[in-house]
Amino acid sequence: MRSRVRPNISFNEPLIFERSSPGKVAYQLPELDVPAADPLAALGPENTRSEIEDFPEVSEVEAIRHYTRLSTWNYAIEYGMYPLGSCTMKYNPRINELVARLDGLALTHPYRPEALAQGSMEIMARLQASLAEITGMDAVTLQPAAGAQGELTALLMIRALLASRGNPRRKVLIPDSAHGTNPASAAIAGYAVQNIKSNDAGMLDIAALEQSVTEDVAALMVTNPNTLGIFEENIVHAAEVLHARGALLYMDGANMNALMGIARPGDFGVDALHLNLHKTFSTPHGGGGPGAGPVAVKQSLEPFLPIPRLRSVGKKWAWDYERRHSIGRVRAFYGSFGVLVRALAYILAHGGPGLRKVTLDAVLNANYLRKKLEGVYELPYQSPTMHEVVFSDDRQARHGVRTGEIAKRLIDYGFHPYTVSFPLIVRGALMIEPTETETKHELDRYVEAMTQIAEEVENDPEIVKGAPHETRTSRVDEVAAARKPVLRWKPV
């Protein structure tokens, strides 16, 4: 029997300001048996304000219930599957959170003298070495705060290397299957972007590439596997074409969940790449919180890495700021340290064979979904699927239902939507990345929901078009929410 997945309870919770009534407090203290002091007086009037207009006054249980109820309105990986393609929303083991919260690591200060920070520095050195091993590259910087900043960091290094050879060049080539941050990073690094079309297999068109690599081209930025979840089979050839003409190969490595322990970018000709520790290596993301986008490079780019660099002096670690060719700093301090701790804990807990298993399971899960759903949704590219699979809404569009509406209907079934309308080369894309942390049971529930929605599209399209029905609010004005956000409550 089909069990319909239900969303969580959803109270019509008012704002905490609307719950307020004068005089209510959320604490109870014993009577004073000493003279009352005025703590505000000590701070001085310029540092204090007498009253906050309409400050909410509620009891303890009201405060607790209010925030607990709000917390149930958020979808979370702890609640269910989060198949947002390209985002690798995997479950992050709690043990890594625990390690990152150890007092000695969580409370350390970035300005602590080197002699007292040797343990933290050792963690960073080991993580650099691990990431170099996983990617097959020669050197790693942990400084960039996110994937996109890693891209920019690498392009600035490529520019510096080419400039040192006499000409920074003008253009960066980017396939139409690339992630949207790639062209943005290239433009910020001062390069003109030239698009390269994909072929019918959803891969880089090598003939088009050969024609485009002129003396003016600094690099090709390729996402691999690309945003169709397809591995670029001609990557070695592409690297040869670029290198023969003095250009470099940059790889967007945010999809490392498809390669770890199986293939090393350094072995297939990549000169620089970034990783998303907050995707592949166990840092929760999605709330805008800290991430890390380390960059790994080949020897030729090593002199240009951001300062400071870790350097071993005898048996100790030191920070090296004296690097003539460095592009400088790209972030305050040394990177998002807590994220780095989680990543090393995750890598050490898995070991090489464990990371390989992560990849194998991620690819297996994506292929399981592909097989179960390819009779239901249109599969525009037949090339082998890696860690994510991209369908189109072609069949459903005939009934007037588009990918965004199918995604909204998924919410009624208790799932977070997949990535909608991306990559752009697929009209009406449904981009699904289950990750390795989902069980077969959970994948089957997802398949069932997707299949039922496809049946609804044929029999009762209006129910899909009007979704979600079971949430507290249904369709919100997404454009107004992005363009005219109301972030602060004000008394009427």
The minimum distance between CB 363 and ligand PLP, in angstroms, equals 16
Contact in structure between 217 and 186 (CB atoms under 8 Å): no
The minimum distance between CB 318 and ligand PLP, in angstroms, equals 29
The whole-angstrom separation of Cα 325 and Cα 239 is 25
CB neighbours of residue 102 within 10 Å: 11
The whole-angstrom separation of Cα 281 and Cα 269 is 23
The minimum distance between CB 149 and ligand PLP, in angstroms, equals 7
The minimum distance between CB 147 and ligand PLP, in angstroms, equals 2
The minimum distance between CB 293 and ligand PLP, in angstroms, equals 5
Nearer to ligand PLP, 149 or 396 (CB): 149
The whole-angstrom separation of Cα 367 and Cα 387 is 8
The whole-angstrom separation of Cα 103 and Cα 397 is 54
Q: Which long-range contacts (CB under 8 A, 24 or more apart) does 209-213 make?
A: 209/173, 209/238, 209/241, 210/241, 212/173, 213/173, 213/241, 213/242, 213/245, 213/247
Amino acid 293 reads G
Which string of DSSP letters, residue by residue, matches 442-480?
HHHHHHHHHHHHHHHHHH-HHHHHT---SSSS----HHH
Nearer to ligand PLP, 158 or 454 (CB): 158
Rg (CA), the chain: 26
The minimum distance between CB 186 and ligand PLP, in angstroms, equals 12
Nearer to ligand PLP, 276 or 385 (CB): 276
Nearer to ligand PLP, 252 or 412 (CB): 252
The minimum distance between CB 221 and ligand PLP, in angstroms, equals 10
Nearer to ligand PLP, 285 or 408 (CB): 285
Nearer to ligand PLP, 252 or 393 (CB): 252
Helical ranges in 309-391 per DSSP H = 337-373
Among all residues, whose Cβ is closest to ligand PLP? 147
The minimum distance between CB 254 and ligand PLP, in angstroms, equals 3
Residues contributing to the site for ligand PLP (CB under 6 A): 86, 146-148, 179, 181, 223, 252, 254-255, 276, 291, 293
Nearer to ligand PLP, 128 or 224 (CB): 224
Nearer to ligand PLP, 265 or 468 (CB): 265
Contact in structure between 254 and 147 (CB atoms under 8 Å): yes
The whole-angstrom separation of Cα 417 and Cα 397 is 18
